[in-house]
Each structure stands twice: as structure tokens, then as C-alpha cells.
Amino acid sequence: MPTILGAGDSSSGYDIENSLREYGTDNFENFTPSSSGDRRTWTWSCWIKPDVRGSAFNLFGAGADVNNRAHIDFNTTGDFQVEAKNGGTSVLKCENTTRLRDPAAFYHIVWRLDTTDGTAANRSRVYVNGEQVSFGSTSFPDQNTELAISNNVIHAIAKRSYADENYFPGYIAEAAFTDGQSYAPTQFAETNDDGVWIPKDFKDDTTFGSNGFYLEFKQTGTSANSSGIGADTSGNDNHWTPNNHNATHVTTDTPTNTFCTLNPLLFFDNTDPFASATLSEGNMAYSSTTTAGADSNIMGTHGANKGKWFYEFKMGTTGNVGMAGGWTSYYNHDRIAYYSGNGYKYNEDGSASYGATYAGDDIIGVAMDLDNQAITFYKNGASQGEITSAIDDNGLHYLPFMWDGSGSLYRKWEFNSGNPPYANSSDNADANGYGKFEYSVPSGYYAICTKNLALYG
């Protein structure tokens, strides 16, 4: 399989501007065609960055009830399948053990259907990052079978079409459907010179058909129209209805410029073992009810060993006296943090007085200078002072991290590397135009995203 896009910069000259952040609870989009299209031949393409929770979720499907539906979904172990029923009879079911394990990467998913094909295995094909999936368990449709997709029934993204369940948690970009065309994945993406599977501009070379659509998630409105989050830009005006979405669901974390999120695979120092902690909001929010004596920490997905980097985090409103944020090394857990309860700075040598205490709704800025081994924390935009020799000058790779101290209080904070899960009163970008921060980014510091990391990290 070609290298997964997520750790580098797109070299095709084509940039995806936006993605849709789904919280995995009750957020999804839906659309019902006014009439039936081609139910035998079509293609679904999208880029996704799952938050790797181990929950079952649907990615795309159609059908008003359990006996008449078709969909692509993932189970709790990360295996995925395509499945369809007509009148309660199974007409398609293919399962696979491909796992999407990297919470920092976008994956390209293509499901192409052509039940007119004389070869059974060619009637339903799925691709991940350009490579066809080999299904371990298969039941392909009979020739010329019609599925629920492209029928004039409800279609849904990020949940089951016929039930309020199996919500997708993560990010979706470039969601496209072509009615009447079965396209190979190379219609939508390509392999660059470095062997990385990258998106390409496909709109003008694609035939969408009557029920086709192309969702770029560039708008923030909450109605099914050209100003809405689910605006169809294919030219068909097949606009989708956003449900329980707002402007914070539209992000610039995309396959061509991924931003740092919290990493569910990098919890450490947890004695309980993190049984009471929850990540949500696209891995941008953390909450827990820790037990006494249980310190828990989580790192970010992106880091560096040089350069100057900035992020913010916002405190929750209840019981946050034991929280801290800063930077840490994955290799030896050498770290520096700013503690909420007493305003102390903390590193492996111990703690000392530093700045003001902080609590609910305060926003803490973290400016890390890996070139000069220094860090500055900000409380609501006010510098608390530079800390020099904050880390070892040993060239280690450092990551943002958050620390949940011991105690029994409910704790929550929200992480912002440039794509906040909350609404800012003003959005401030870095000097390269990346990120949305509440307060100004210090001069020379940058949002933690792959385009900046390619230049400075």
C-alpha cells in the first residue's frame, strides 16, 4: 500500500482547504434524491481521519430500514465491510481485516459498484489509498442487482441511514459520489514521486450524474443550500442537510495539511489505566474523573526536534485544579509544564514558582522554542515569562502534552493546534496563514501542522 498521507506536504500543487469534524455522537449529514438514479453503477470517494476509538461506525450508506439498505462501515475492532440488503435478503456482504490505526493520517476510501460486470468480483470493489482491498469473506451481488444507494431514499454520511447509531468519529474531506460512473481511485488521487498517495483536482474531469455530489465543506451555514456545510459543488445542487453541526465542525485539518491532535495511542503514567478518561471532538477534547493518586498524561500526534511552535488549550469549568500543559519527549518523558492549581512550572528536576493560577474558561498559550531550549506560557494572551533551559539540548523529538494530576475531581480541557473545537472571539493565524487561535501567535512561532513542519521541523 502506498505511504499514508499525513506526515508530509502535498506535492501535486492541489490543496484541500477544509474537512468536516464529526464528533461521533449525533453529527451527520443526510440527503434524499428527488428521483432514482443509476443503482447499478456508481462510485463513492472520500478522505477520512478516524479518531481510533474502537467504536463501530458507518461511513456512507442509504436506505430507510434495516431490510432495504446499503452501506460501508467499520466494526469495533477496526475491520470494515460493505453490505446491502433488498427486501431483507442479503445481496452483498464483503468483510476485511484492514485496520486504520494511525490517528494522525488521512486515508482515502473508494467504493465502486458495477453490477452489470460479468465478473462477480468486479461488481463491488473497495480501495484504501489506491490499493484494492482483498476481502476475506465475500458475497458479491448477482449481475444487474440494484442497491439502495442512488435510489430516492435517505442517504447518510457518518451514521446509519435508517437508525440513529454508528456515528463516525473523526474527519471527512472531499466526499464525492458519481451516479452512473464506476471510477478507479486514480480518478480522485495519485501517487507522487515519493510514493505517497495524494489527492488531485478531479472535479472538471468527473461525470457526477443526476444524483452525484461533491462536498468540500467550505461553508458554515446550517441549511441544505449552497451556503451550508453540506453544499454540493458538483454543479447538481444536491445539497446535504447538516444535523447538529456549526462552524466549529468545519476545519482546515485536511489530507494536504494535517494538524496536531491528541493521540489516543500515547497515554502514559496512568495507574488506573486511564479507565475514566475520554477523548472527544475529533481528538481535540479530554475529560476524566481520575481517582486519587492517578496521574495521567497524553501526547499530541505531531512533534519536532527543532523550530518554534505554538498551541493553545482551553480549560473546562469544573474541577480543573490538577491540570497542566506543555511539551514532552516521547523517548524519555523529559517534559516542561505549567500547572493550573498553583501556577508553578514543572519539569523533571521538580517544581518552582512561575506564573498565575488558571481555571475554567482560561486559555493558555504554549510557545515552545526548540532551537534555544526555551518555553513561554501565556494566560489569556499575557506572557507568564520565558523559561530557559526548559529541555535537554539533545536533539530529541518533542510533542505537545497535557497532564491530568491526581485527585477525584471532574476535569476537562480542549486542545487547539490551530483547529479549535470551540468558537474563538477572534481567529489569529501564524505568519504563514495557518491556524485559528484566540490570541496572537508570538512572532517567529508556528501552528503545529504538516506544512509548517515540512519547512521548520
Chain segment 102-127, per-residue pLDDT in tens: 899 999 999 999 999 999 999 999 99
Examine the pLDDT at 156 and tell me if it is beyond 50: yes
77-91, 192-206, 407-421: which range is least confident on average?
407-421
Q: Please give the pLDDT value at position 405.
A: 67
More confidently predicted of 365 and 78:
365
Q: Which residues on adjacent β-strands are paired with residue 57?
A: 74
Domains of the chain, by residue range, sit at 19-251, 262-456
**101: pLDDT confidence band, cut at 50, 70 and 90?**
confident
- Put simply, whether the predicted model's pTM sits higher than 0.75 gets the answer yes
145 neighbors 22 (Cβ within 8 angstroms): no
| pLDDT > 90: percent of the chain | 67
Does residue 310 contact residue 367 with C-beta atoms inside 8 Å? yes
Considering the domain 19-251, what is its CATH architecture?
Sandwich (2.60)
What's the CA gap between 284 and 301, in Å, rounded? 11
Rounded average pLDDT over 331-360: 85
Q: Cell numbers 471532538 correspond to what residue?
A: 281
83 bridge partner residues: 71, 93
| 19-251 shares its CATH topology with 262-456 | yes
Q: What is the pLDDT of residue 20?
A: 97
Superfamily of domain 262-456: SPRY domain (2.60.120.920)
pLDDT digits (tens, 9 = 90+) for 249-276: 999 999 999 999 999 887 655 444 445 5
Euclidean distance between CA atoms 457 and 448, whole angstroms: 9
Q: pLDDT exceeding 70 applies to what percent of the chain?
A: 89
Cβ(220)–Cβ(187) below 8 Å: no
Q: What is the mean pLDDT of residues 177-188?
A: 98
